[in-house]
């Protein structure tokens, strides 16, 4: 197993780590209160979008853990999948840095630590999958 494959396996595991952290999000952001004012259709739409994002993250983690060798190989399909995952997490990182203002919700050290840890994980994803997509082998 080469170094990139090891970094990809770590990334695959990190996908599941961020999913476990996402269990805390509804309470941390007080979704019951904040979504309660929305029209029922919009509230359900919000939950559906969240569910689909979870499915995508499970897919990224599962594919990475199962096919890390192929992602690291430089084969066209591996590069394409790595590029897609890189683009997804780069966009998510941009949203984290330039669009979301999470300060009102970072009310204690635990939430601040979690938010900053997520930012670092997003950077890790963008870097590792970017290397898998673009590095010459």
CB-CB contact of 133 with 81 (8 Å): no
List, for residues 18-68, the tens digit of each pLDDT value.
998 888 888 888 888 988 999 999 999 988 998 999 999 999 999 999 999
CA dist 26 and 66 (Å) reads 30
- Side-chain half-sphere of 136: how many Cα atoms within 13 Å? 0
> What DSSP state is assigned to residue 37?
T
List, for residues 60-113, the tens digit of each pLDDT value.
999 999 999 999 999 999 999 999 999 999 999 999 999 999 999 899 999 999
Q: Which pLDDT belongs to residue 24?
A: 83
Q: Please, what is the angle between helix 109-134 and helix 40-73, to 10°?
A: 50
Rg (CA), the chain: 17
């Amino acid at each position: 197993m080469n170094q990139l494959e090891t970094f990809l396996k770590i990334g695959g595991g990190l996908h599941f780590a961020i999913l476990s952290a996402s269990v805390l999000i509804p309470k941390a952001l007080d979704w019951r209160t904040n979504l309660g004012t929305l029209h029922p259709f919009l509230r359900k739409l919000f939950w559906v979008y969240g569910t689909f994002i979870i499915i995508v993250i499970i897919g990224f983690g599962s594919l990475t853990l199962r096919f890390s060798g192929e992602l690291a190989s430089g084969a066209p399909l591996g590069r394409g999948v790595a590029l897609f995952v890189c683009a997804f997490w780069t966009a998510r990182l941009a949203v984290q840095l330039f669009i979301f203002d999470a300060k009102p919700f970072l009310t204690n050290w635990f939430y601040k630590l979690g938010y900053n840890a997520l930012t670092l994980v997003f950077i890790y994803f963008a870097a590792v999958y970017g290397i898998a997509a673009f590095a010459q082998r």
